[in-house]
Chain A
Amino acid sequence: MIHTDFNWTGPLNLMLLLAAVALLALQCGLLYTRHRHSGRFGIRLFLNLLVWLSVVAWIADPYLQSGASSKVGLLIAENVSSGVTGRIRDSLVGVEVIREDEIASRQVDTLVIVGQEFDDKVFASIRQLKNLPDLHWKPYFAPGELRDLHWKGILRKGEMQRIEGSIQTADKKMLRVRYAGHTLDSVMLNPGSNNFRLAFPAFSEGRTTTSLDLDGQTIDTLGFFSQPGQMLTIRFLLDNPDFETRNLATWLGKQGHSVLYDATLSKNIRSKLNINRATEPELIITNVSNAVDPAIKKAVNAGKSVLFLQSGDPVAELRSINNALGTRFQTVKTSNDESVPLSPSLMARPFRFEPRDFQVKTPHYPVATETTTGKIAVSLLNETFPMQLAGDSMAYGRVWNEILAYVRPAQASVIEWDAPVFRNVPVKIYLNNFQAVSRFLTLGQDTISTTISALNDRSATATFLPVQNGWVPLHDSLNTELYVQDYPSLRYAWRMQHFIQSTQQVNAGTRLTDNAVSTRKLPGWAWFSWLMLCLAALWIEPKL
């Protein structure tokens, strides 16, 4: 079918048509008055009509629309190796290879994109196509190049930084994450495609830049921001003071936490020790006998954490905890000894926890936490202070740091985003547990609005599109900063992925109404030569 996009209603267009009609009238009038008697009136009339029709057709600019004939185009990035290109071209039948500058002119129904290192113009020209083709993206990464990489863009000090990614290597290689040359974690990569995962605790406060080394060669630098660790307020609620808890309270105080040490010394005599000006506790450390204490129940209901220490008879004591707080702790006896050694200087009760829903066990020590409204944790460790008395304060710190990491209640204002963040690739920022989620976030010189989750009124998200590399400040009290990375190969992949996702959204909306058709138009030069030919014929005819 022939179609035209000529707008019949536009006044200029109507005038143009009017002019055309006038032209026809003029032509016919002149022809009739001057050449009526010449022998070739018929031919002249024909030629004039032909010219007029051609002009009208040129104004109307018709195009031919034909039914869907599926055409597959192949767009290949320059860095893709010829082997890969050849293989893909062979596997697709009847495919046309399209150069970057031909995208606009070569209309295809399906566009297979191989590789991702394209100029920005390519995206623009694909998007400007009248009929957006179906896009299929085959990522291409050279061997030894990261295919995927994720880590936390922001975390608290002492939190685990996890680096996950995948890479293809030709032979056995060692992948290390290093800080100033010091290896933080490493993994051995086998030949072929590898998914790797590296982890280390965040150790600094502020900007941190680590590097990812493949066999000694830095392949990427990872920047993230560590916020200072949050200090807890801990309350000890004890029937009697003992060295273990007293030692723990002092240690916690020295770490910067606030501690309220509350113990019964004798009948009606209580001792209260306040370390570092403690006020409202967030974590309560107590004995099992206090499980029924209303203060504990209240704290749990308010979302605070409770840690029960020093189990004498775990089975009976856990039962009383379960009854009092509605948890489902259960242990199994593992040995007949009075205690089992975990390390030369650390002993534990000979029990282990049965796995249950909503329960998390610390990886190295027999401590389990169950999340109810608050967190409830039970420790099966015997006394830990001998480690400190023996001078091994490092080991002591390790034990309690890990336990604290697991029993720590959710504290105020969590902000998170996934690294890497690239220029011109939007990043989603997640906010949780803010006192009041502000409607706007200011990043660098941009202000972005937040969207509060419909389901969870404590969470919100915001999308930010960075425009320059480097650290972008969030202007908050912790001087938080977002690092915009510049690692070309992954940046291209990210951008491409984002582009593909965005086009699919567009396609999903338009697919139903838009039939797959292809249109053909007479090119400009054809029009020109045809018109010239008609006019030439008109001019030559009287001379013959």
Chain B
Amino acid sequence: MADLKKLIKSVNTHIQWLGIIKSSLMGISTQLVANTFLPFDPWLSPLAGSFASLIGWWIHKVGRDKKDVAISLIHNHNPEAEYSLDLLDRDDLNIAEQMQLERIGQRNIRFTRRILYRGMWIYLLALVLATAVNDGWPAIRDRNAAPAKAKTTSSAESKEQAPVMPKFESAGVKIVPPAYTGLPQRKSGDLNVSGIVGSQIEWSVWFDRPEQLSVRIANSRGEEVGLRQINGVFVHQDRLAGSGLYSIKGYWKDSLVYQSDFYKLEALPDLAPRIEPASKELYQYHYLKDPKRIRISAKISDDFRVRQAFIVATVARGSGENVKFREMRLPLSPADFREANIQKTIDLNALNFTPGDELYYYWAAIDNRTPEANFSKSDTYFVVYKDTANVEESELATMAVNVMPEYFRSQRQIIIDTEKLIAKRKKLKKTEFNSVSNEIGFDQKVLRLRYGQYLGEEFETTIGGGDNPAADAGNIIDAFTHHSDGQGEGAESRVGEPRTGEPAHADEHAHEHKQEPAGEKDPLAALMEQYTHSHDDAETNTFYEQSTRSLLKMALEQMWQSELHLRTYEPEKALPFEHKALEYLKTAQQKARTYVKKSGYDPPPIKEKEKRLTGELKELATKWEFEKEFNQKQTGALAAALLGYLEKDKLAKADQAKLAQLGSEMVQRLTGSEPFNGGLQNWNMIAALQKLVAGRALSDSEMNGLKQDLYKRTDAALQSRSPWLAGKKLEAAFRKALR
């Protein structure tokens, strides 16, 4: 009996609990559904849930004794109980009832609890459905939202949607260096870009609501490029060509909703290949006995790869105007390397390098840059094949600048000639001997004249001795070339012949332009003549230092003497002077490395007061009026004006506009300034100015930095003093009283 009571009690409790669970499930389901459709009020859905729970409570009559239900359930499913369990509750049982109870008490009555759970699935299903609705509905609603909005802007909804501005989420940049560099591509969230020129750059910008938004990249001059929207991401691709600053701006319905800081865009150049030849000696001689193969080497490197290196060799042959060049390109191996030590053997025989020839060569290399490669070349190396057979001539024939005219070396020739003449004296007839001696004397004179020119002794008339044919024709070369028609040297050597025009002309030359009207001459010559009348003045020749000049002078004196003796047919007496002259000349040659022909002139002083304002004034405008305007402010003034704005916390609109104008002008000047003045190195300052122009607040350190930078650019100097003025009478009285 006790067992039965126990069973009934347990079933009763079970039913109670199930009631609680069911009402809770109802409550939860209702709350979920309410939560889905009424998302705005945080209190509404729990309220609905609890209300549903209460209804469930009420339906299931939770809390009320369910003994009857339990007993009827046991009766229904246990025929053995014989519908007698109610007897258990009775207090006064008659005998029949007691026996009945004892009877069923002995039976083993069981109750399968599963039966209680019948109908539970409805609640579980409701919960599942409610969960599904709660999860799935927002997605469905959002999918339908856009077309719905496009169709009809229901007033309540648009009011809630309109003020939500798109917000910047993130941005990234992908840098793909040119393929030839072999550098890996880079992705980063840092928008300060620096890459090799020609790199492909891709900006990606994310906003939380990309609808109706246009995103642009703006440079420091305010020029903008729009970004394309692909699946909600704003993308822009471009090739890196130059350095600069940029910022990202977002426009939403024509209003600027986002502006980033200014970022740096730095284009790093691809450097040209670097060539370091092993040999530092640029100029070397090659002798007959030297090996005919030259080994040269160089280290060639590039920041990426060297595609090809080669040697360009030129052989020069011949002399005077008959110089021929042959250029060859000798490709080097290996090719396509990053850094290599390249050796090359130049076979001179293969180049047909003969004495007197010269070989010029240089290293060159191109790198793998595309589209056009960088090219670089080394210094040019010279190899001169010393022509031992013809030293003097070979020196003249080469391309190298011959530092001395030929005449400078013929004093030795004169000596040799003289010695020859002396040796042959006995074999020659007297007239012939005299003639040769005279000719040598002439040579000596020519040489002397030649040197005399370097000392300013242009015409021998002014030094003494014979006339200079150069004075006639104005062509100095003529004097030293043989003309068959009796001009030049030959004519000159006829000492005894009477001359009529020439001395007169020489005299005339001394006083030239006074007698000759300027118009009759060649106009240019006439003009020059006016100014170039300072011959004969050895002192004005400033090309040589004092010692060299005196040496040359001494040589000239010796030449005079030697000529004298040669002309008087006494070559023996001339010889010591010739030697002496040679010695002086050689010393002078050693002293002054180069001899530059005198070309300047010293104009006579102009008497300004007499000459001024005395020219002819025909066809001249009497009034010269011009107007000029400098609109651009000096950078100093610009910086000073900007500094004034920095102290203000709040700027009026007009002030802000003015500040923007000044700031952008300053930025332009800074970015436009050459690297020497900082150029883009000022980018801290530029970025701060840009921020200021955009009307954004600067941090303390930025402001400090900007102030310092601007201060450096102001023209801080004393420019005025505080003036104070009194009435004229008062001042005059004051001065009078004090004096």
Contacts and interface: CB of A to CB of B under 8 A. Distances in A.
Interface string A402-437: 101110111100101000000000000000110000
Interface residues of A, number: 67
B620 to A, nearest CB: 6
B727 interface: yes
Nearest to A232: B720
A245 to B, nearest CB: 15
Given A253-B628, A408-B721, A411-B723, A203 B732 contact: no
A224 to B, nearest CB: 11
Contacts of B726: 456, 458-459
Nearest to A416: B722
Interface string B596-630: 00000000000000001101010011111111111
Contacts of A270: 622-624
A185 to B, nearest CB: 11
B721 to A, nearest CB: 5
Contacts of A458: 725-727
A230 B624 contact: no
Interface stretch (A34-42, A105-113, A261-269, A460-468): A261-269
A487 B636 CA distance: 32
Interface in A232-280: 240, 253-256, 265-277
Contact of B630 (A206, A254, A404, A456): A254
Nearest to A226: B644
A229 interface: yes
Contacts, number: 179
Contact of A269 (B620, B629, B735): B620
Contact of A405 (B634, B714, B719, B739): B719
A63 interface: no
Contacts of A416: 722
B117 interface: no
Contacts of B648: 206-207
Interface residues of B, number: 53
B625 to A, nearest CB: 4
A256 B633 contact: yes
A273 B613 CA distance: 20
A398 interface: yes
Contact of A402 (B640, B703, B718): B718
A408 to B, nearest CB: 5
B725 A410 contact: yes
Interface stretch (B67-75, B569-577, B704-712): B704-712
A416 B630 CA distance: 31
B73 to A, nearest CB: 88
Nearest to A273: B626
B704 A256 contact: no
Contact of A265 (B624, B630, B725): B624
A160 B721 contact: yes
Interface stretch (A4-12, A139-147, A151-159): A151-159
Contact of B629 (A181, A276, A402): A276
A209 interface: yes
A181 B703 CA distance: 11
B350 interface: no
B7 to A, nearest CB: 91
Given A180-B704, A182-B708, A272-B625, A402 B717 contact: yes
Given A180-B704, A266-B615, A373-B732, A256 B637 contact: yes
A408 B723 contact: yes
A229 B719 contact: yes
B731 A373 contact: yes
Interface in B445-502: none
Contacts of B629: 253, 275-277
A253 B630 contact: yes
A402 B645 CA distance: 27
Nearest to B643: A204
A203 B714 contact: yes
A357 interface: yes
A190 interface: no
A303 B727 CA distance: 11
Nearest to B628: A275
B724 interface: yes
Nearest to A375: B723
Contacts of A192: none
A79 interface: no
11 contacts: A159-B720, A207-B647, A208-B643, A256-B637, A267-B617, A268-B617, A275-B627, A358-B735, A408-B721, A433-B723, A459-B726
Interface of B: 612-613, 615, 617, 620-630, 633-634, 637, 640-641, 643-645, 647-648, 703-705, 707-708, 711-712, 714-728, 730-732, 735, 738-739
Interface of A: 152, 155-160, 179-182, 200-201, 203-209, 226, 228-230, 240, 253-256, 265-277, 303, 357-358, 372-373, 397-398, 401-402, 404-406, 408-411, 414, 416, 432-433, 455-459
The 3 closest A-B pairs by CB, nearest first: A206-B644, A158-B719, A180-B707
